[in-house]
Amino acid sequence: MAQPLDLPSTSANIGLPLLFTGQAQKEVFINEGLALIDALMPGAISASRNEPPTSPVEGTAYRVTGEATASWAGREDELAIYLAGSWRFVEPQDGMVFFDRAAGALIHFDTSWHTATPPQPLDGGSVVDSEARAAIAALITALENVGIFAKS
């Protein structure tokens, strides 16, 4: 007779709750998993911050930043999702990419969170090439407009 699989209680990547034989109230676990997927699937977070908002909206996601406080204390770098009146936390995985709505820029996770920063505008020098400066400024503006760089 084959050995039954010994599965964990949550999924490997974002900790979705898994069902098991004889489990009571399966709909609670299924609904929690669907709510987590619903919060993360759009690929956007409301903001990056170190404290929970005072009036969070159901299903909103945030990136917890350094020196987190209140109910987010000790959850730095995690994603905080407000579900059913409380916070649910998801550990980021390498390769996750989100659009931070408050910053207007993409953030990605690779052992820690990163965002693109625009280069400093050219200033000075013995030879000023106005065409090169205009081209670089236009490039920076274009990258800001698509969310690669945060708007300055």
Burial of residue 79, with CB atoms counted within 10 A of its CB: 0-12 exposed, 13-18 middle, 19 or more buried: buried
pLDDT in tens, 121-140: 666 666 667 878 888 888 88
Helix (H, G, I), strand (E, B) or coil at 86: strand
H helix or E strand, kind and range, residue 142: helix 130-145
Q: Which of 71, 70, 88 is nearest to 79 (CA)?
A: 88
What value does the mean pLDDT take over residues 16-35?
Answer: 86
pLDDT in tens, 81-136: 999 999 999 999 988 999 999 999 999 898 899 888 777 666 666 666 787 888 88
Residue 87: beta bridge partners?
82
> 110: Cβ–Cβ under 8 A, 6 or more apart, which residues?
94, 95
pLDDT in tens, 44-60: 999 999 999 999 999 99
Percent of the chain with pLDDT over 70: 89
